[in-house]
Amino acid sequence: MRTFGKLSLALTGAFLFVSLLGGQQPGGGGRFQIPGFGNDPLSLLQNDSVKKELNMTDEQSAKLPDAVLKAVANVLDGKQLKRLKEIELQQRGSAALADAGVQKDLKLSEGQSKSIKTILEDSGKQRQELFNEAKGGGGGFQGMREKFQALQKETNEKIQEVLSTEQRRAWKELLGDEFKIERPGFGGEFKKGKRKVDLD
Protein backbone atom coordinates (compact mmCIF):
# COMPACT_ATOMS: atom_id res chain seq x y z
CA MET A 1 0.00 0.00 0.00
CA ARG A 2 2.84 2.32 0.82
CA THR A 3 4.52 1.55 -2.51
CA PHE A 4 1.28 2.22 -4.39
CA GLY A 5 0.90 5.57 -2.66
CA LYS A 6 4.44 6.53 -3.58
CA LEU A 7 3.88 5.56 -7.19
CA SER A 8 0.61 7.47 -7.25
CA LEU A 9 2.33 10.59 -5.99
CA ALA A 10 5.11 10.16 -8.53
CA LEU A 11 2.77 9.82 -11.49
CA THR A 12 0.66 12.67 -10.21
CA GLY A 13 3.77 14.80 -10.00
CA ALA A 14 4.91 13.85 -13.47
CA PHE A 15 1.85 15.32 -15.12
CA LEU A 16 -0.11 17.49 -12.69
CA PHE A 17 3.03 19.13 -11.35
CA VAL A 18 3.45 20.62 -14.82
CA SER A 19 -0.11 21.86 -15.11
CA LEU A 20 -0.88 22.87 -11.54
CA LEU A 21 2.32 23.99 -9.90
CA GLY A 22 3.95 25.18 -13.08
CA GLY A 23 0.93 27.13 -14.24
CA GLN A 24 0.53 28.88 -10.90
CA GLN A 25 3.98 30.29 -10.39
CA PRO A 26 3.81 33.91 -9.25
CA GLY A 27 3.95 36.18 -12.24
CA GLY A 28 4.57 33.22 -14.49
CA GLY A 29 3.88 32.61 -18.11
CA GLY A 30 2.02 29.38 -17.44
CA ARG A 31 -1.29 28.38 -18.99
CA PHE A 32 -4.60 29.22 -17.36
CA GLN A 33 -5.18 26.51 -14.73
CA ILE A 34 -7.71 25.64 -12.06
CA PRO A 35 -5.69 24.93 -8.90
CA GLY A 36 -7.02 22.28 -6.56
CA PHE A 37 -9.35 20.80 -9.17
CA GLY A 38 -9.21 17.02 -8.70
CA ASN A 39 -9.05 14.38 -6.00
CA ASP A 40 -5.44 13.23 -6.33
CA PRO A 41 -3.02 14.18 -3.51
CA LEU A 42 -1.25 16.95 -5.39
CA SER A 43 -4.47 18.60 -6.56
CA LEU A 44 -5.80 18.53 -3.02
CA LEU A 45 -2.62 20.14 -1.74
CA GLN A 46 -3.18 22.97 -4.21
CA ASN A 47 -6.63 23.66 -2.79
CA ASP A 48 -6.64 26.62 -0.41
CA SER A 49 -9.28 25.10 1.86
CA VAL A 50 -7.27 21.87 2.19
CA LYS A 51 -4.09 23.79 2.92
CA LYS A 52 -5.94 25.73 5.59
CA GLU A 53 -7.33 22.52 7.10
CA LEU A 54 -3.81 21.04 7.20
CA ASN A 55 -2.33 24.30 8.52
CA MET A 56 0.23 24.18 5.71
CA THR A 57 2.81 26.94 5.69
CA ASP A 58 4.11 28.77 2.62
CA GLU A 59 7.44 27.08 3.24
CA GLN A 60 5.83 23.65 3.03
CA SER A 61 4.00 24.58 -0.17
CA ALA A 62 7.27 25.76 -1.68
CA LYS A 63 8.87 22.38 -0.92
CA LEU A 64 6.22 20.40 -2.83
CA PRO A 65 7.88 20.58 -6.29
CA ASP A 66 11.17 19.13 -5.04
CA ALA A 67 9.35 16.49 -3.01
CA VAL A 68 7.38 15.43 -6.08
CA LEU A 69 10.47 15.22 -8.27
CA LYS A 70 12.24 13.08 -5.67
CA ALA A 71 9.30 10.68 -5.70
CA VAL A 72 9.33 10.62 -9.51
CA ALA A 73 13.06 9.87 -9.48
CA ASN A 74 12.32 6.61 -7.68
CA VAL A 75 10.16 5.48 -10.61
CA LEU A 76 11.76 6.88 -13.78
CA ASP A 77 15.30 6.23 -15.02
CA GLY A 78 17.78 9.06 -15.59
CA LYS A 79 16.93 9.59 -19.25
CA GLN A 80 13.20 9.64 -18.57
CA LEU A 81 13.62 12.04 -15.66
CA LYS A 82 15.75 14.41 -17.77
CA ARG A 83 13.15 14.46 -20.54
CA LEU A 84 10.33 15.00 -18.05
CA LYS A 85 12.20 17.99 -16.63
CA GLU A 86 12.59 19.43 -20.15
CA ILE A 87 8.87 19.02 -20.82
CA GLU A 88 8.07 20.59 -17.45
CA LEU A 89 10.21 23.63 -18.25
CA GLN A 90 8.60 23.97 -21.68
CA GLN A 91 5.13 23.93 -20.13
CA ARG A 92 6.02 26.38 -17.38
CA GLY A 93 7.69 28.79 -19.74
CA SER A 94 9.24 31.97 -18.34
CA ALA A 95 7.85 31.24 -14.85
CA ALA A 96 10.52 28.54 -14.45
CA LEU A 97 13.21 31.23 -14.47
CA ALA A 98 12.11 32.19 -10.97
CA ASP A 99 13.37 28.84 -9.63
CA ALA A 100 16.65 28.90 -7.75
CA GLY A 101 17.77 25.69 -9.46
CA VAL A 102 17.20 27.09 -12.95
CA GLN A 103 18.90 30.33 -12.02
CA LYS A 104 21.88 28.36 -10.76
CA ASP A 105 22.05 26.35 -14.00
CA LEU A 106 21.99 29.59 -16.01
CA LYS A 107 24.51 31.23 -13.66
CA LEU A 108 22.37 34.31 -13.15
CA SER A 109 23.75 37.17 -11.12
CA GLU A 110 21.88 38.56 -8.13
CA GLY A 111 20.92 41.58 -10.19
CA GLN A 112 19.55 39.41 -13.00
CA SER A 113 17.54 37.32 -10.55
CA LYS A 114 15.97 40.44 -9.06
CA SER A 115 15.15 41.83 -12.50
CA ILE A 116 13.47 38.59 -13.55
CA LYS A 117 11.52 38.47 -10.29
CA THR A 118 10.23 41.99 -10.91
CA ILE A 119 9.27 41.18 -14.51
CA LEU A 120 7.38 38.05 -13.46
CA GLU A 121 5.62 39.83 -10.60
CA ASP A 122 4.49 42.62 -12.94
CA SER A 123 3.36 40.02 -15.46
CA GLY A 124 1.46 38.20 -12.72
CA LYS A 125 -0.43 41.37 -11.79
CA GLN A 126 -1.39 41.97 -15.41
CA ARG A 127 -2.38 38.32 -15.76
CA GLN A 128 -4.64 38.59 -12.72
CA GLU A 129 -6.27 41.67 -14.22
CA LEU A 130 -6.95 39.68 -17.39
CA PHE A 131 -8.38 36.82 -15.31
CA ASN A 132 -10.73 39.28 -13.63
CA GLU A 133 -11.69 40.74 -16.99
CA ALA A 134 -12.34 37.24 -18.36
CA LYS A 135 -14.53 36.33 -15.37
CA GLY A 136 -16.48 39.50 -15.96
CA GLY A 137 -17.24 38.34 -19.48
CA GLY A 138 -15.28 41.08 -21.19
CA GLY A 139 -13.38 40.71 -24.44
CA GLY A 140 -14.75 37.37 -25.64
CA PHE A 141 -12.78 34.11 -25.72
CA GLN A 142 -10.66 34.92 -28.77
CA GLY A 143 -9.96 38.45 -27.59
CA MET A 144 -8.87 37.29 -24.13
CA ARG A 145 -6.71 34.55 -25.63
CA GLU A 146 -4.91 37.11 -27.77
CA LYS A 147 -4.35 39.35 -24.74
CA PHE A 148 -2.84 36.47 -22.74
CA GLN A 149 -0.59 35.53 -25.65
CA ALA A 150 0.53 39.14 -26.07
CA LEU A 151 1.33 39.37 -22.36
CA GLN A 152 3.34 36.15 -22.49
CA LYS A 153 5.26 37.39 -25.54
CA GLU A 154 6.00 40.70 -23.82
CA THR A 155 7.18 38.91 -20.67
CA ASN A 156 9.51 36.64 -22.66
CA GLU A 157 10.97 39.60 -24.53
CA LYS A 158 11.69 41.48 -21.31
CA ILE A 159 13.43 38.44 -19.83
CA GLN A 160 15.42 38.03 -23.02
CA GLU A 161 16.87 41.48 -22.47
CA VAL A 162 18.05 40.41 -19.00
CA LEU A 163 19.81 37.22 -20.15
CA SER A 164 23.13 37.15 -21.94
CA THR A 165 23.62 35.32 -25.24
CA GLU A 166 25.26 32.41 -23.41
CA GLN A 167 22.45 32.24 -20.86
CA ARG A 168 19.82 32.18 -23.60
CA ARG A 169 21.72 29.31 -25.21
CA ALA A 170 21.87 27.46 -21.89
CA TRP A 171 18.13 28.00 -21.37
CA LYS A 172 17.40 26.43 -24.75
CA GLU A 173 19.50 23.42 -23.79
CA LEU A 174 17.50 23.04 -20.57
CA LEU A 175 14.28 23.06 -22.61
CA GLY A 176 15.46 20.25 -24.91
CA ASP A 177 13.65 19.31 -28.12
CA GLU A 178 10.22 20.83 -28.56
CA PHE A 179 7.39 18.63 -27.35
CA LYS A 180 3.74 18.98 -28.36
CA ILE A 181 1.68 17.71 -25.48
CA GLU A 182 -1.69 16.06 -26.07
CA ARG A 183 -4.53 17.33 -23.94
CA PRO A 184 -8.13 16.05 -23.91
CA GLY A 185 -10.55 18.52 -25.43
CA PHE A 186 -14.30 18.66 -25.43
CA GLY A 187 -15.98 15.40 -26.43
CA GLY A 188 -12.94 13.34 -25.41
CA GLU A 189 -10.85 14.43 -28.38
CA PHE A 190 -7.13 14.93 -27.87
CA LYS A 191 -5.45 18.00 -29.23
CA LYS A 192 -1.74 18.66 -29.53
CA GLY A 193 -0.47 21.93 -28.19
CA LYS A 194 2.79 23.59 -27.33
CA ARG A 195 3.99 26.45 -25.21
CA LYS A 196 6.06 29.10 -26.94
CA VAL A 197 9.05 29.45 -24.63
CA ASP A 198 11.94 30.36 -26.95
CA LEU A 199 13.68 33.53 -25.87
CA ASP A 200 15.27 34.59 -29.11
pLDDT in 10s for each residue of the chain, 200 residues: 444 444 444 444 444 444 434 444 433 444 434 444 567 787 788 888 999 999 999 888 888 878 888 888 899 999 999 999 999 899 888 889 998 899 999 999 999 999 999 999 999 999 899 888 887 776 677 788 888 889 999 999 999 999 999 999 999 999 999 998 886 654 555 555 555 555 45
Burial 61-80 (b: 16+ CB within 10 A, else e): eeebbeebbebbeeebeeee
State which H helix or E strand residue 190 sits in. Answer: strand 190-193
Q: Where are the domains of the chain?
A: 2-193
pLDDT for 2 equals: 45
Calpha distance 91→131 (Å, rounded): 19
CB 155 within 8 A of CB 147: no
Burial class (CB in 10 A: 0-12, 13-18, 19+), 136: exposed
Beta bridge partners of 192: 182
Helix axes 78-92, 58-73, angle to 10 degrees: 140
Query: Of 97, 33, 31, 88, nearest to 65 (Cα)?
Result: 88
